[in-house]
Chains A and B, each alone.
Chain A
């Protein structure tokens, strides 16, 4: 069966893979036999090989070098281009993070190929599904030149185990001077949180301008924590300083597609919808019965968030006992 390269996205600690990698491996199996590519500091492959085997990696290319982590994106694209040239894979499937898309773009130029970003599905003939224009339009597209490169939108594929051998093959990494142009001086974590990552979470609770203050976002956090959910925010909430920018959901923020999205005090502007419209189930709490968010909601409560949400949080916590 044809080989499909899947560069692995590591978790921030570099010791495990992100869920996006398992999604990419699952999608890659539609196109052929996945070969995971571990790009990272020396020692990385050893800690992730088992999970890659569990999710269908027939092979694991081990491309380890300090250069890969010390410089932005370009070294990874360079190693992948070498692999594409050497192995002639049927396709390359990459998680759709900021970095994933940039790797896809550089790889496309290096290999003279086309790429499709944020695909939500693919068929065996390589036809991809994408969501356009704030989730309002579904598009089918295809790569017409070179080795097709796809980036997979988070939470659009359910990871499914499919045990495989994960046979390791070491790749000699020779990063060119040209690929060392952008130095990563340091990686800084500003908000440590025990909550799930926004784009990966299966439940997201978001607050909008209706939350009214930064302090009152504790109401949103309370509900999120009772459900084991991530916290999100509308742009109006972020612009008002209620919550940090990295939690913004929408066209200029994160795109999320959880099992459950709870919009609290959010009107449902088109740019907000852009980031959450494809959520499986949408619940809204808003005191304005005419708020557009209700057009989208599977279940809506017309009421004051300051009474409804804390009471709901209490009940959920009690049920979990």
Chain B
């Protein structure tokens, strides 16, 4: 079974993240960039499926040059090879445009299954699987906390509020994964060394058959007009519990007319 895992590099959510005032896009060049956390679960799931069914795991990333670090991490975990779509024209692309690029890159690969994270921490859009399913005409199995593949059928448990939906579709399909699905492995020393020799193909938009003038900030389907830091909250009150913590707490809630 051949699997493509979509991996995105994002600014570390534990650091202060910024938009670039020059053009209101995510400041990626100056950020502390990491692999999108949720994508590690997708990689782990792909590796587990490969162990059971054989085949190859290909990593696909659309992003600037720095994204090669995210690819390296995925290869260190055990993926076989990678495709990196990198083109300056992509700067400022919107989600529908990025989905067109990913769809074109997938068109040059052979796959039974596409795996991706359920959400990225920079945009937190959670729509890539839906966009790709729509563009590629393949089934969408999104938000999985469990995935099983039998023959040419994939089933997931789609995580919902207070439960799950059991979904079923024929391969090839796209599946997105939550952090409840597995426990991603750490790259071993051997894995890290082996990753250095694994093939990474770099592609431009033109090499995917796309017209660079149709993708990027200038033609994006949505645009950020301006941004500002959230206004700081007024200084709060902090009181010690001197045997009267509950009185103080309830007193505050009463004053706020909550109780």
Contact = CB atoms under 8 A, between A and B. Distances in A.
Interface in B5-19: 13-14, 16-19
A72 B167 contact: yes
B39 to A, nearest CB: 12
Contact of B13 (A115, A271, A303): A271
Interface string B202-230: 00000000000000000011111111111
Contacts of B145: 245
A189 interface: yes
Interface string B121-143: 11011110111011101111111
A183 B38 CA distance: 25
Contacts of B158: 72
A300 B224 contact: no
A52 to B, nearest CB: 22
B201 interface: no
B220 to A, nearest CB: 7
A114 B96 contact: yes
A184 B246 contact: no
Contacts of A192: 162
Interface string B227-249: 11110011011111100011111
Q: How large is the interface on B (under 10, 10 to 19, 20 to 34, 35 or more residues)?
A: 35 or more
B162 A184 contact: no
A144 to B, nearest CB: 5
A168 interface: no
A204 to B, nearest CB: 12
Q: Is the interface of A mostly helix, strand, loop or mixed?
A: mixed
A104 to B, nearest CB: 7
Nearest to A102: B130
A316 B257 CA distance: 12
A304 B245 CA distance: 9
Contacts of A191: 162-163
Contacts of B192: none
A312 B241 CA distance: 12
B246 A312 contact: yes
Interface string A129-140: 001111111111
B163 to A, nearest CB: 4
A293 B222 CA distance: 34
B230 A307 contact: no
A252 B248 CA distance: 33
Contact of A303 (B236, B241, B256): B241
Nearest to A148: B222
A285 B241 CA distance: 10
Contacts of A182: 139-141, 167-169, 173
B137 to A, nearest CB: 6
A41 interface: no
A196 B133 CA distance: 33
B167 A184 contact: yes
Contact of A138 (B139, B167, B230): B230
Interface string A274-299: 10010001110100010000111111
Contacts of B125: 101, 105, 117
A134 B16 CA distance: 9
B134 A301 contact: no
Contact of B222 (A114, A118, A134, A285): A114
Given A105-B134, A298-B233, A190 B124 contact: no
Contacts of B248: 301
B221 A113 contact: yes
A114 B129 CA distance: 16
A19 B238 CA distance: 34
Contacts of B168: 182-183, 185
A113 B122 CA distance: 22
Interface of B: 13-14, 16-19, 24, 37-38, 94-96, 99, 119, 121-122, 124-127, 129-131, 133-135, 137-143, 145, 155, 158-170, 173, 179-180, 220-230, 233-234, 236-241, 245-250, 252-254, 256, 258-259
Given A117-B126, A283-B249, A304-B241, 5 more contacts: A105-B130, A105-B131, A139-B224, A289-B240, A302-B240
13 contacts: A102-B140, A105-B95, A114-B94, A134-B17, A137-B230, A138-B229, A143-B222, A186-B166, A188-B166, A192-B162, A299-B238, A312-B250, A316-B259
Interface of A: 12, 72-74, 77, 98, 101-106, 108-110, 113-118, 127, 131-146, 178, 181-193, 197-199, 203, 227, 245-246, 251-252, 259-260, 269-271, 274, 277, 281-283, 285, 289, 294-304, 307-309, 311-312, 314-316, 319-320
